[in-house]
Amino acid sequence: AASVAEQIVRHSGLQKGYCLVLDSGDGRLAFEIARRTEMRVIGIESNPAMVARSRERLKSAGLYGSRVAIHHMPAGGVLPYQDYTMNLVVCERLLTEGKLPTASAAAVSRVLRPHGGEVALVASDRLSAGRLDSWAREALPAWKVETRDGLLWGVARRETLPGAGQWSHQYADPANTACSGDALVEGALEIQWWGRPGPRKMVDRHQRTSSPVLAGGTLYMSGLNKIIAADAYNGTVLWERAVPDSLRLFVSKDCSNMAAAEDVLYVASGKQCLALDSRTGQVGREFRIGTFDDGVSRQWGYVAWTEDVLFGSAVREEEARRRLTPDSWQFGYLDNARLVCSDELYGFDRHRGEQLWARRSDNGVFINSAI
């Protein structure tokens, strides 16, 4: 189980999220995957004696409850998990006994996460490639069976759900349409997940900070001068990092501090905009506002992107609402509260970092909430 777990982790590239171990047996594969990743591992097993044995084994290793859980599910039962929650699905009995999973491929497909969720089933030499292939050929479109290092592998990686939308900007997109374009959501809604990050690191809702944005299956939340990235399908916190001077208050009279693309998050930080890698949160590129000769300090205001262009603006620091104070509520709740405006707009090549153009407002302003 150790060498197979090593190969599964290496081939999948997954380190965080949820792993489901079908027919988990004595818990060895669950144990080995937990040792090699930061994933929460859930095993399902129909044999009560095996459930008890694996729980004791994992408890002795200090993993049970905190990192690994074993659930008893009678043969033929329905997987008791929300749709799209599992980042990785494996099977122990297939490896040790050469028997196909008791769960159907359709059931596995239901719980497999879009945007890169992976099934990696490794079989002993007691099972033929044809039987493994037929198990999932119809339920998992990307399913393929191959031989690696003398073992039979059945693998599938799930792509984006057809018809799924995105919410990449404060109001869905750069056009402020407030429409994600999602064709899947219907009237009845269910809770997908709850839990972290919780309120402690977040801005109080009465301060009306930026809404979360979503792209590529990752949900980005703006906290107290920090950004938190979570798996949109199961809530796993992927990374968080401090971003100085990124706080935004009362965006209804201003604009958001961030915009998300498939592989990068753009977030305003003081006088610059940072491009953060969606997987790690590391800074990949920095963009800066222009210089002014009037002695007035300015910060990066507007953030948006479309195709290859990143858009930004310069806002006077004295006009920006970036700090929590006992009186900051007045900026959002009084009818005569001023709108936050910018006096220069920018366009950058978002891949190369080059400034493409700048437009300064000589006799007026750009209203941030209307850009």
Q: How far is CA 158 from CA 83, 141, 162, 321, in A?
A: 13, 9, 11, 42
In a domain, 241, yes or no: yes
The verdict on 247 and 360 lying in the same domain is yes
CATH number, domain of 117, equals 3.40.50.150
- Average pLDDT in the 133-158 region? 92
Count CB-CB contacts under 10 A for residue 91: 27
Which band of pLDDT confidence, cut at 50, 70 and 90, is reported for residue 208? confident
In 3-state terms, what secondary structure has residue 17?
coil
Angle at 31 (CA atoms; ends 27, 37), nearest 5 degrees: 145
Is residue 239 over pLDDT 70?
Answer: yes
Q: Which domain holds residue 118?
A: 2-157
Contact 75, 102 (CB under 8 A): yes
CATH number, domain of 347, equals 2.40.128.630
How much of the chain, in percent, has pLDDT values that exceed 70? 98
- Average pLDDT in the 158-172 region? 94
The verdict on 117 and 213 lying in the same domain is no
- Average pLDDT in the 314-333 region? 77
The verdict on 133 and 256 lying in the same domain is no
Which band of pLDDT confidence, cut at 50, 70 and 90, is reported for residue 185? confident
Q: How many residues does the chain have?
A: 371
At 330 the pLDDT is: 67
Which band of pLDDT confidence, cut at 50, 70 and 90, is reported for residue 174? very high
The verdict on 149 and 217 lying in the same domain is no
Is residue 84 over pLDDT 90?
Answer: yes
Is residue 62 over pLDDT 80?
Answer: yes
At 141 the pLDDT is: 84
Which band of pLDDT confidence, cut at 50, 70 and 90, is reported for residue 121? very high
At 332 the pLDDT is: 65
- Provide the Cα torsion 112, 145, 70, 161; round to 10°: 0
For the ranges 64-73, 115-124, 156-165, 287-296, the lowest mean pLDDT is seen at 287-296
- Summarize pLDDT for 95-108 with one digit per residue, the tens: 999 999 999 999 99
The verdict on 358 and 260 lying in the same domain is yes
- Average pLDDT in the 147-168 region? 92
- Summarize pLDDT for 186-204 with one digit per residue, the tens: 878 889 999 888 888 888 8
The verdict on 306 and 213 lying in the same domain is yes
The verdict on 150 and 263 lying in the same domain is no
Which of 28-42, 138-152, 242-256 has the highest mean predicted lDDT (pLDDT)? 28-42
Tell me the HSE value of 158 on the side-chain side, using a 13 A CA sphere. 24
In a domain, 181, yes or no: no
Is residue 319 over pLDDT 90?
Answer: no
- Average pLDDT in the 118-133 region? 90
The verdict on 110 and 218 lying in the same domain is no
At 186 the pLDDT is: 82
The verdict on 139 and 238 lying in the same domain is no
* Amino acid at site 11: H
At 331 the pLDDT is: 67
DSSP designation for 328: T
In a domain, 177, yes or no: no
The verdict on 308 and 365 lying in the same domain is yes
- Average pLDDT in the 302-320 region? 94
The verdict on 231 and 145 lying in the same domain is no
Is residue 52 over pLDDT 80?
Answer: yes
Dist. CA 289–CA 273, nearest whole Å: 8
Is residue 279 over pLDDT 70?
Answer: yes
Which contiguous run of DSSP H or E holds residue 237? strand 237-242
Question: What is the residue-averaged pLDDT of the chain?
Answer: 93
Query: Which is more confidently placed, 148 or 287?
Result: 287
Is residue 58 over pLDDT 70?
Answer: yes
Hey, what are 238's tokens? 């992927």
The verdict on 11 and 127 lying in the same domain is yes
Q: How many structural domains is the chain composed of?
A: 2
In a domain, 194, yes or no: no
